[in-house]
């Protein structure tokens, strides 16, 4: 019998710890995500979900643990091995707030990092911006300023700005949380549209979301974060019915209907 092919994780996290003073937020996080894979992080408010993403992107300083990307360590004992800006250019985060430059058009919001970080020429940056914006259904927004966009359009623009960098790791932190129900659908559809893009680029996606049905559909695996630990992690399609621990079961029992 032929041996099964073992796929090495593109992102590997071991023992990641973070605390504010005496408050331990992350208590030794271990997780793996395969190339082109998506891990959804779910859990109660205050369980450390956003802090986990911020540590992966070196926006918060961890107090311990190691993070490897493509077999190369970029966090050792919680400290960045490389310059933080180098890590952030490959581990990119999209926040609940759009964080767009209000004095720049949508196009310039996107191309600025391409020119300054990826060192692309202006025309090449514009071409890439238009390609990704078209995929996300916001190409018509590129000539507008952020205050001329709806919340959903601005959030899709923020997603576009992250994707054009072609990061190794894309972290999405509750990016639908501040939107109304109708707009959530638009943004969720935009995230769905990156599935083939993610797979082609071997991009790892780590998404924090409260939309359980969406997490089941979009992610490969779902991890339940509780008291700063990965309490349970399962294949996404079986997470709702196969979770075993009482805390996880209690959590998912409240989220069987929404997205």
Residue-wise pLDDT tens digits, 81-128 = 999 988 999 999 999 888 899 999 999 999 999 999 899 999 999 999
Confidence of residue 258 (pLDDT cuts 50, 70, 90): very low
Q: Is residue 58 part of a domain?
A: yes
What pTM was computed for the model? 0.92
Give bridge partners of residue 23 from the DSSP assignment: 20
3-state secondary structure at position 160: helix
- State the Cα–Cα distance between residues 243 and 245, nearest whole angstrom: 6
At 88, which CATH number?
A: 3.40.50.300
- State the Cα–Cα distance between residues 11 and 204, nearest whole angstrom: 7
Token pair, residue 138, equals 């916001």
Q: Is residue 25 part of a domain?
A: yes
User: Phi then psi for 95, rounded to 5 degrees?
Assistant: -100, 170
The mean pLDDT of the chain is: 91
Q: Is residue 70 part of a domain?
A: yes
- Give residue 193's pLDDT: 87
Q: Residues 50, 174: contact at Cβ < 8 Å?
A: yes
Q: Is residue 205 part of a domain?
A: yes
Residue-wise pLDDT tens digits, 44-65 = 988 999 999 999 999 999 999 9
Q: Is residue 147 part of a domain?
A: no
Q: How many domains does the chain have?
A: 1
Cα three-residue angle 32-35-41, rounded to 5 degrees: 45
Q: Report the percent of the chain where pLDDT is more than 90.
A: 72
Q: Is residue 123 part of a domain?
A: no
Say which residues have a Cβ less than 8 Å from residue 156's Cβ, sequence separation at least 6: 136, 137, 138, 141, 186, 187, 190
- State the Cα–Cα distance between residues 73 and 11, nearest whole angstrom: 10
3-state secondary structure at position 133: helix
Q: Is residue 174 part of a domain?
A: yes
- Residue 161 pLDDT exceeds 90: yes
Residue-wise pLDDT tens digits, 3-17 = 556 678 999 999 999
Q: Is residue 187 part of a domain?
A: yes
Residue-wise pLDDT tens digits, 219-247 = 999 999 999 999 999 999 999 999 999 99
- Print the domain residue range for 210: 11-103+168-252
Say which residues have a Cβ less than 8 Å from residue 184's Cβ, sequence separation at least 6: 152, 176, 211, 259
Confidence of residue 160 (pLDDT cuts 50, 70, 90): very high
Q: Residues 18, 60: contact at Cβ < 8 Å?
A: yes
């Amino acid at each position: 019998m032929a041996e099964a092919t073992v796929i090495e994780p593109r992102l590997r996290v071991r023992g990641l710890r973070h605390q504010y003073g005496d408050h331990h937020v992350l208590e030794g996080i271990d997780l793996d995500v395969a190339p082109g894979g998506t891990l959804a992080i779910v859990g109660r408010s205050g369980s450390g979900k956003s802090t986990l993403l911020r540590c992966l992107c070196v926006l918060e300083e961890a107090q311990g643990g190691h993070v490897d990307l493509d077999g190369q360590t970029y966090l050792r004992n919680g400290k960045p091995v490389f310059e933080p800006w180098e890590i952030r250019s490959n581990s990119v985060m999209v926040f609940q707030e759009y964080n767009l430059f209000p004095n720049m058009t949508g196009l310039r919001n996107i191309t600025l990092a391409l020119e300054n970080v990826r060192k692309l020429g202006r025309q090449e940056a514009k071409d890439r911006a238009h390609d990704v914006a078209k995929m996300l259904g916001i190409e018509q927004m590129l000539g507008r300023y952020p205050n001329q966009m709806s919340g959903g359009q601005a959030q899709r623009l923020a997603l576009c700005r992250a994707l054009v960098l072609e990061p190794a790791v894309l972290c999405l932190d509750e990016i639908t949380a501040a939107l109304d129900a109708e707009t959530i659908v638009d943004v969720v559809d935009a995230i769905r549209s990156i599935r083939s893009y993610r797979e082609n680029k071997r991009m790892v996606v780590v998404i924090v979301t409260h939309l359980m049905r969406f997490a089941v559909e979009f992610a490969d695996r779902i991890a339940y974060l509780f008291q700063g630990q990965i309490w349970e992690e399962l294949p996404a399609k079986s997470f709702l019915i196969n979770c075993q621990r009482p805390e996880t079961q209690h959590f998912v029992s409240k989220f069987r209907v929404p997205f």
